[in-house]
């Protein structure tokens, strides 16, 4: 019997309805099942078949990045470095701390991980480092590839050389003098973190960019900038887990950001203000009286491609230099000053040594003279140790060689790392590690090879010479001239590192290290 057209149409509509019903009712279920199957297979691979499957460590850490999330973000906050310490105590000196990372805790193996030279190529880990809280794409810090980083670094290496920084002494000492004048004029407590950050920021801006930031003249030392920097740093662990979130936040207009965080808006806006200057320098149109800046150095280097000389990329470098050249040095100065005031024996011994080269209160000494003082050098090394610099782990990827650690062969392409916080608080190398003891550096001169505040290798801190210059001049000049007392500062809350957000941070309730200036030191 022949079917009518209406019957055929009815059957077609019925089939279409079934298909539509299946699509809407089951597509989600099918996707969910596929998702479950994928992640189940991924879990099996990570735990049993991954190249790192046989390395020691908790299976849950090997299985998922959420293990790290638990200790870094919620419910804990930036605590993973202390969990890593526990894992080393349980599993030994090499531990798999997430699906792709191996963490080593062994002073004798630092140079192998952070090796430099043509036969030791070291890439950065993109998962770990593409999590910045400010616009850092295209910068030296974010250069994953070994060769790209080497090229970018070479373009400014001379600018930060020991010789160039020694010639910078008048700028550094002038900034310290300005800070001293401000401190003498203070009638109430001073937050040293803010005061030192204002000084280091002014030095970096003047030397690198030829601009006057004048933070030392701002109310409360322009502390909104440091506050914003700390807020930004706290986003780094979150950015590793959710990089899209950081990108979304960076797309927020600075005018909107200014409504709830003026300091962050200032961080974002300031490098953009540099664009006209950068373009003028690249075009050779700057004033003949213009100070030589880092952009002149890049332009005259001659080894950067057109893409590398893009003004927007160079603008991004300003973000990194501003952050890297300010906070870590300022924190080291604040922590060191705290212990000089707190430990009278240490403070008295340093002041006595300073008087041998600075006999009068207003005397000056050049950098080589200060660097030759054994106790001052010991104080600065101990300050670097307890302040840590970058406290976080610092991954490196050996791209062209397998690394061998004891009986373990680490496959090439594996991010492997150590943490300065764990190295600097290792009681086997630094007995009584949370005590401030400059004498340890005099008793054992070889101890300096265990200092990791500036990292190590070809990707070590570019601004180390500048930071060292600031540390020597600031500590020597301020401690020789000013008498101070601690004000409303608790070591456990305001000094010790309690959170690891790439940089070490104190307790979240801390308002900083505070002092009151009592007057001038007697000659």
pLDDT at 366: 98
DSSP letter (8 states) at residue 133: S
Instruction: Please check the confidence at residue 2 and state whether its pLDDT lies above 70.
Output: no
Average pLDDT estimate for 152-167 = 96
What is the overall mean pLDDT for the chain? 91
Task: Report whether pLDDT(18) > 60.
Answer: no
pLDDT at residue 508, rounded to an integer: 93
Residue 514 has pLDDT above 70, yes or no: yes
Residue 339's pLDDT is what? 99
Q: Is 310 exposed, middle or buried (0-12, 13-18, 19+ CB in 10 A)?
A: middle
Write the DSSP assignment of 341-401 as a string of letters.
HH-HHHHHHHHHHHHHH--STT----HHHHHT-HHHHHHHHHHHHHH-SB-SB--EEESSS
Q: Output the pLDDT for position 131.
A: 55
Distances (CA, A) of 328 to 146, 197, 471: 25, 9, 11
User: Could you give the 3-state DSSP secondary structure of residue 519?
Assistant: strand
Per-residue model confidence (pLDDT) at position 423:
98
Mean pLDDT for the stretch of residues 348-356: 98
* Residue at token pair 């250069």: 143
What's the pLDDT at 56?
A: 99
CA-to-CA dists, residue 61 to 55, 74, 100, 102, 391, angstroms = 12, 16, 10, 11, 21
Q: What is the pTM of this model?
A: 0.92
Judging by DSSP bridges, how do beta strands 102-104 and 415-417 pair with one another?
parallel
Which of 65-74, 96-105, 310-319 shows the lowest mean pLDDT across its residues? 310-319
Is the pLDDT assigned to residue 361 strictly greater than 90?
yes
pLDDT exceeds cutoff 90 at 294: yes
DSSP-derived letter for residue 408 is E
| Residues 136 and 142: beta-carbon distance below 8 Å | yes
Percentage of the chain beyond pLDDT 90 is 74
Residue 97 has pLDDT above 80, yes or no: yes
Least-confidence region, from 20-29, 229-238, 357-366: 20-29
Give domain limits for the chain. 122-391+430-520
> Are the CB atoms for 376 and 475 separated by under 8 Å?
yes
Average pLDDT over residues 83-106: 99
* pLDDT reading at 133 higher than 50: no
Question: Of 265 and 454, which is predicted with more confidence?
Answer: 454
- Given a cut of 90, whether residue 98 has pLDDT beyond it is yes
Residue 429 neighbours by CB distance under 10 Å:
14
DSSP type of residue 282: H
Token code pair at residue 238: 């979150």
pLDDT in tens, 433-468: 999 999 999 999 999 999 999 999 999 999 999 999
**pLDDT for 192-224, tens place per residue?**
999 999 999 999 999 999 988 899 999 999 998
List the CATH code of the domain at 122-391+430-520. 1.10.630.10
| Residue 433 dihedral angles phi and psi, to the nearest 5° | -65, -20
How far, in Å, CA of 318 to CA of 326, rounded?
12
Mean pLDDT of 112-123: 94
Band of the pLDDT at 1, cuts 50, 70, 90?
very low
Q: What is the pLDDT of residue 31?
A: 85
Q: Is the pLDDT confidence value at 400 over 70?
A: yes
Distances (CA, A) of 265 to 250, 275, 321: 11, 16, 17
222-240 pLDDT tens trace: 998 888 888 888 888 888 8
Q: What residues contact 483, with CB distance under 8 A and at least 6 apart?
A: 517, 518, 519, 520, 521
Mean pLDDT of 391-403: 96
Lowest-confidence segment of 175-179, 421-425, 500-504 by average pLDDT: 500-504
Q: Are strands 415-417 and 396-398 parallel, antiparallel or unpaired?
A: antiparallel
The band of 26, judged by pLDDT with boundaries at 50, 70 and 90, is confident
């Amino acid at each position: 019997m022949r079917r009518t057209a209406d019957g055929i149409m009815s059957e077609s509509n019925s089939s279409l309805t079934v298909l539509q019903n299946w699509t809407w009712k089951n597509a989600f279920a099918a996707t969910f099942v596929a998702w479950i199957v994928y992640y189940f297979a991924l879990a099996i691979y990570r735990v049993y078949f991954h190249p790192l499957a046989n390395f020691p460590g908790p299976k849950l850490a090997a299985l998922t990045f959420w293990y790290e999330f638990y200790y870094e973000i919620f419910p804990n906050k930036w605590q993973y470095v202390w969990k890593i310490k526990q894992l080393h105590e349980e599993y030994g000196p090499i531990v798999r701390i997430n699906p792709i990372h191996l963490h080593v805790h062994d002073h004798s193996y630092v140079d192998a991980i952070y090796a430099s030279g043509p036969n030791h190529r070291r890439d950065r880990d993109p998962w770990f480092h593409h999590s910045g809280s400010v616009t850092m794409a295209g910068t030296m810090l974010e250069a994953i590839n070994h060769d790209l980083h080497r090229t970018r670094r070479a373009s400014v290496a001379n600018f930060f050389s020991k010789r160039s920084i020694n010639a910078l002494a008048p700028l550094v000492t002038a900034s310290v003098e300005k800070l001293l004048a401000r401190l003498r004029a203070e009638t109430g407590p001073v937050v040293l973190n803010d005061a030192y950050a204002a000084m280091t920021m002014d030095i970096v801006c003047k030397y690198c960019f030829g601009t006057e930031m004048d933070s030392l003249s701002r109310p409360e030392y322009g502390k909104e900038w440091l506050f914003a920097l700390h807020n930004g740093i706290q986003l780094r662990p979150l950015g590793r887990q959710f990089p899209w979130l950081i990108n979304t936040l960076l797309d927020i207009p600075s005018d909107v950001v200014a409504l709830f965080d003026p300091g962050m808006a200032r961080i974002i806006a300031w490098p953009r203000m540099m664009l006209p200057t950068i373009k003028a320098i690249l075009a050779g149109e700057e004033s003949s009286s213009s100070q030589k800046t880092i952009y002149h150095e890049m332009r005259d280097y001659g080894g950067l491609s057109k893409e590398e000389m893009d003004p927007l990329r160079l603008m991004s470098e300003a973000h990194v230099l501003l952050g890297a050249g300010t906070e870590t040095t300022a924190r080291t100065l604040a922590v060191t000053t705290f212990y000089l005031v707190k430990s009278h024996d240490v403070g008295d011994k340093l002041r006595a040594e300073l008087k041998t080269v600075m006999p009068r209160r207003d005397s000056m000494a050049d950098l080589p003279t200060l660097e030759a003082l054994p106790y001052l050098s010991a104080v600065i090394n101990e300050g670097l140790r307890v302040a840590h610099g970058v406290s976080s782990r610092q991954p490196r990827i050996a791209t062209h060689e397998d690394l061998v650690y004891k009986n373990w062969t680490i496959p090439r392409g594996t991010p492997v790392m150590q943490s300065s916080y764990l190295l600097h608080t290792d009681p086997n190398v630094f007995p009584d590690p949370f005590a401030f003891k400059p004498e340890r550096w005099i008793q054992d001169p070889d101890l300096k090879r265990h200092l990791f505040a500036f990292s190590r290798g070809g990707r070590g801190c570019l601004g180390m010479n500048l930071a060292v210059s600031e540390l020597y001049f600031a500590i020597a000049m301020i401690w020789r001239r000013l008498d101070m007392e601690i004000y409303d500062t608790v070591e456990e809350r305001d000094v010790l590192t309690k959170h690891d957000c790439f940089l070490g941070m104190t307790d979240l309730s801390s308002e900083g290290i505070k002092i009151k200036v009592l007057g001038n030191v007697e000659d």
